[in-house]
Structure 1
Amino acid sequence: MAASLSWLSLPPTRLSKHSVSSCPRVIESVVGVISRDFSNFEEDCSKRKSLIGLGALTGSLLFARFALAKEETDRYTPFVDFIDGYSYVYPSDWRDFDFLGHDSAFKDRIAALQHVRVGFIPTTKNDIRDLGSMQEVIFDLVKNVYAAPTQIPTIYDIQERTVDGKNYWTFEYDLQSSGFARTAFATIAIGNGRYYTLVVGANQRRWSRLRNLLKVVADSFKIIDIKSASG
């Protein structure tokens, strides 16, 4: 398996809601499409739940691809969706739940704000790089899609990795409003004619304790090639 990593170690970048995008084309291709399509994208929850057991059966293969240390495999459970073409791991003590507009989601049994969710929408793009500059795409995505008008977003490190010829962008960000802040990792990628997004996060107060645990989840996301009906 060929894999490569590259990092942009950026100082925290706070994005003003009044700032003007430096790349209007990104706004049109990312923000407009995602905000429109995610709100209308309904999933078959019964199919998703049936795949949880399937993921457990393929866990050894999934963990091998992530190169997790043996002691770490007990901390995570794999989720594999061969129908929709993706896989990832999540903390073993989390449980599945329905998150509107998303294909799969798992959350902490006590702290509901600690959760991971995955969604996708159709796209004509072939690779995440086709959207434009990694930094511009991510900045516009966080500012115009993830952040509500009352929230101030800050973006931290941005990472690109390439696995089996597919490119993945992972970034850390927080959204702050009056008296509350949430921090998260997001991984975005394109494959199978779909734009995939994984978001995993927690309340900012818990972030320093959970960051390493949740980074494994963000880095574990992989696209699986969907086989055609003809074989």
Structure 2
Amino acid sequence: MAASSLSLSWVSRTISSKLNLPNVNESLQPTAFSANNTVKCLRETTIEEESHCQRRALLLGAGAITASLFPLSPLLAEEKPANYEAFVDTEDGYSYYYPSDWREFDFLAHDSAFKDRYLQLQNVRVRFIPTDKKDVHDLGPMEQVITDLVTHVYSSPNQFATIMNMQERSENGKNYYTVEFQLASKNFTVSSFATIAIANGRYYTLIVGANDRRWKRVRNTLKVVADSFKVLDI
């Protein structure tokens, strides 16, 4: 597979500073990236150590993120794929597919969520927060934004964060960033896709994931969910 190295030359900033908000823990021809030498980082508990942690992730990733093909799954504009249901929230302005055998459940601080009836770590959830940004491009370069999110927002203290892939896509004038990542702790490891978008004065985040032991089996199924996420004008 042909690939070209990309230089990661930016000053790292957390996503909270870009949105001017408190930190939150919690064409269809895409530009895509694959980290052959994955970016790993162990989050610490102090601000100074977190900055060191992120710099370490960026240094490890420098020169390792390369261009690659990251095919998209069917989107809501097309016919709904078999074995999926569509969730459409016209009031809050977003939609996505989820596996038809999943069930809705309450996920703290999220607007909607569905999970496998037997495996609770296998789920999708969506949340949004206010922002004065108009587009994900206003947050900065995809590599910078994704690294900040995974190492400072999605990961919890004492978790190793590994970024596997990054993807950008555009549809109907809306831009989306998607990342595939892994969070490993002493007791368990989970793998996930996260897709972010900005519209309607809101910063939307969809995360769909599973226990890492099942990731190879369900990855393609969950990728359909991540690729189907769309923001709607309200």
TM-score in terms of structure 1 length: 0.75
**1:65 is matched with which residue?**
77
**2:214 is matched with which residue?**
206
Pairing 1:92–2:100 present: yes
Deviation, 1:63, is: 6.3
Deviation, 1:4, is: 2.9
Pairing 1:182–2:194 present: no
User: Residue by residue, what CA displacement relative to the aligned partner does 1:6-57 show, whole Å, maximum 9, x if unpaired?
Assistant: 10122221124343546xxxxxxxxxxxxxxxxxxxxxxxxxxxxxxxxxxx
User: Residue by residue, what CA displacement relative to the aligned partner does 1:165-211 show, whole Å, maximum 9, x if unpaired?
Assistant: 11100110010011310000000010111000000000000000000
**2:41 is matched with which residue?**
15
Q: CA RMSD in A?
A: 1.6
**1:5 is matched with which residue?**
30
**1:224 is matched with which residue?**
232
Q: 1:64 to 1:184 in 2, by over 3 A?
A: closer
Pairing 1:104–2:112 present: yes
**1:46 is matched with which residue?**
none
User: Residue by residue, what CA displacement relative to the aligned partner does 1:130-182 show, whole Å, maximum 9, x if unpaired?
Assistant: 01121111111111111111111100110000001111001100100113100
Distance of 1:189 and 1:183 partners within structure 2: 20
**1:38 is matched with which residue?**
none
Distance of 2:211 and 2:120 partners within structure 1: 10
| Structure 1 residue matching 2:127: 3-state secondary structure | strand
Distance of 1:188 and 1:175 partners within structure 2: 18
Does structure 1 retain, via aligned residues, the 8 Å contact 2:112–2:126? yes
- Structure 2 letter corresponding to 1:151: Q
Does structure 2 retain, via aligned residues, the 8 Å contact 1:4–1:163? no
Distance of 1:5 and 1:134 partners within structure 2: 12
Match for 1:164 among 163, 166, 172? Answer: 172
Distance of 1:81 and 1:138 partners within structure 2: 26
User: Residue by residue, what CA displacement relative to the aligned partner does 1:97-152 show, whole Å, maximum 9, x if unpaired?
Assistant: 00010000000000011000000011000000101121111111111111111111
| Structure 2 residue matching 1:150: 3-state secondary structure | coil
**2:62 is matched with which residue?**
none
TM-score in terms of structure 2 length: 0.74
Moved over 4 A (4+): none
How many residue pairs end up in the alignment?
Answer: 182
* 1:100-139 paired onto structure 2 within 5 Å: 100-139=108-147
Q: 1:81 to 1:64 in 2, by over 3 A?
A: closer
| Structure 1 residue matching 2:29: 3-state secondary structure | strand
Deviation, 1:64, is: 5.8
> Among the aligned pairs, what percent are the same residue?
55
Does structure 2 retain, via aligned residues, the 8 Å contact 1:3–1:164? no
Gaps of 5+ in 1: 23-61, 227-231
| Structure 1 residue matching 2:151: 3-state secondary structure | helix
Moved more, 140-149 or 98-107: 140-149
Distance of 2:172 and 2:35 partners within structure 1: 27
Pairing 1:82–2:90 present: yes
